[in-house]
Amino acid sequence: MSRFVVRLTEDVSRRALTLLVVFFAAMVIAPFALNDYLLTVLILIFYSAYLGLAWNILMGFAGYLSLGHALYVGLGGYTAAALYVHFGIGPWIGLLVAIPVTMISGAIIGFLAFRFGVAGVYFAILTIAFAEFARIGFDHFNWVGGSGGFFLPVKQYAHNDLWLLRGSPAMFYYVILAATVVAFLACRLMLHSRIGYFWQAIREDEGAARAIGVDTFRYKMYAVVISAGMSAFAGVFYAFYYNNLFPEQVFHILRSIELILGPMIGGIGTLFGPVLGAFVLTSLAEVLHAVLAVFGIDVPGVNRVLYGVCLLLVVIWVPHGIWPWLARRLGLTEPRP
């Protein structure tokens, strides 16, 4: 255990550690200080932070752009929801099934791509294609509701049931916060071990990585499978939080795009970037919403315009993302992306 802590914290400056602990403490007490609306915003933030961290493994660490991560989220969500609705199996056991399901689908896509040397734009297109297959397939998959949607039973619960993921926003908040913390620590551990260095070598120059003995096929497979498996949890969370799944919603390419905006704005390949990006984007979207509501304006899709503007500004001013810039400002030393 102590060895574990040492490995997690070595090379981390005291200042960074302090800031992280303060941030974490603030997030832990947040539900006591916030109203239900702000708490749901925080849930949304950590949901996208968690997904951003998962996606970042494939793109930020190994350099492979997935534009179809909604596939893994959707598959994870549908798997756990189906097990719950049809067999009464709870979400945590469902997760144990959902993770292998998404890992296998990630492995299939990875195998097809990496076996035949598909990279760059073509890899991205392949991931879009599979997410679209799923969207259309689930539209006709009547066992889980087809295009009409799949609904989880909603009842009034007297108290929080963590085992069945039924309860108040605060409970959901702590669940997604804990998941984000675990994902963050896991990313840090992986990035600073052999697998992470091999991923970075692949990202920087795949040919040179092979020349120093890196089995690039194997390590790319690890990246896609781990990233997919992590995304499964987000899907399970989504299903039990919203209690409904529509193929046109969960598998839509817009979901895949939205989930990569956080890490892009926060800083691809960094550890804290996806978390920061989720904070910036989601809170800006909510603020914009509130401001427009004050003026009585309701523009559907306005947050997409905002996302576009944010991306533009980031590309112009801090092309490596906000976090590397902010980390320098805070006197921390997050390595360059």
Partner 1 sequence: MSALLSISGVSKRFRGLVAVDNVSFDVPQGVIYAVIGPNGAGKTTLFNMIAGEFVPDGGTISFDGARIDGHPPDEVCRRGIGRTFQLVRPFPALSVAENVMIGALLHRSDVAEARARAYDVLKRLDLFDKREQPASALTLPDRKRLEVARALATEPKLLLLDEVMAGLRPTETDRIVSVLRELNRETGLTILLIEHVMRAVMALAQRVLVLHHGAAIAEGAPEEVVRERAVIDSYLGAEALA
- Residue identified by tokens 């539900």 is 31
C-alpha distance from residue 216 to each of 89, 123, 212, 229 (Å): 38, 15, 10, 20
Q: State both tokens at 285.
A: 């979207």
Buried b (16+ CB within 10 A) or exposed e, 17-36: eebbeeeeeebeeebeebee
Interface with partner 1, residue 242, by CB under 8 A: no
Q: Does 188 bind partner 1 (CB under 8 A)?
A: no
* Residue placing its CB nearer to partner 1 in the complex, 79 or 216: 216
Contact with partner 1 (CB under 8 A) among 21, 205, 248, 287: 205
Choose between 308 and 335: whose C-beta lies nearer to partner 1: 335
Nearer to partner 1, 128 or 271 (CB): 271
Residue holding tokens 């097809």?
A: 112
Q: Which is nearer to partner 1, 76 or 324 (CB)?
A: 324
**Is the dihedral angle over the CA atoms 259, 141, 175, 167 positive or is it negative?**
positive
**Closer to partner 1 at the Cβ: 43 or 195?**
195
Q: Contact between 336 and partner 1 (CB under 8 A)? A: yes
Of 42, 83, 101, 214, the residue at the interface with partner 1 (CB under 8 A) is 214
Q: Which residue has the tokens 């932070």?
A: 49
Instruction: Find tokens 């089995």 and name the residue.
Output: 215
Hey, is 43 helix, strand or coil? helix
Site string for partner 1, 112-131 (x = CB under 8 A): --------------------
* Cα 165 to Cα 175: distance, rounded to the nearest angstrom: 9
Q: Among 74-82, 211-219, 222-230, 297-305, which window interacts with partner 1 (CB under 8 A)?
A: 211-219
Judged by CB under 8 A, the residue of 93, 182, 210, 304 near partner 1 is 210
Would you put residue 297 in left (φ > 0), alpha (ψ -120 to 50) or beta? Answer: beta
Task: Give SS3 for 5.
Answer: helix
Residue type (1 letter), 178: A
Asked if 85 and 150 touch (Cβ cutoff 8 Å), the reply is yes
The least CB distance from residue 208 to partner 1, in Å, is 4
Regarding 207 and contact with partner 1 (CB under 8 A), the answer is yes
Given candidates 102, 127, 200, 256, which one binds partner 1 under the rule CB under 8 A? 200
Please identify which residue in 88, 213, 300, 301 interacts with partner 1, judged by CB under 8 A. Answer: 213
> How many residues sit in the footprint of partner 1 (CB under 8 A)?
22
Shortest Cβ distance from residue 197 to partner 1 (Å)?
Answer: 5
Q: How far is the CB of 317 from partner 1 (least distance, A)?
A: 20
CA distance 326 to 171: 31
Q: Under the rule (CB under 8 A), what is the footprint of partner 1?
A: 192-194, 197-198, 200-201, 204-205, 207-216, 335-337
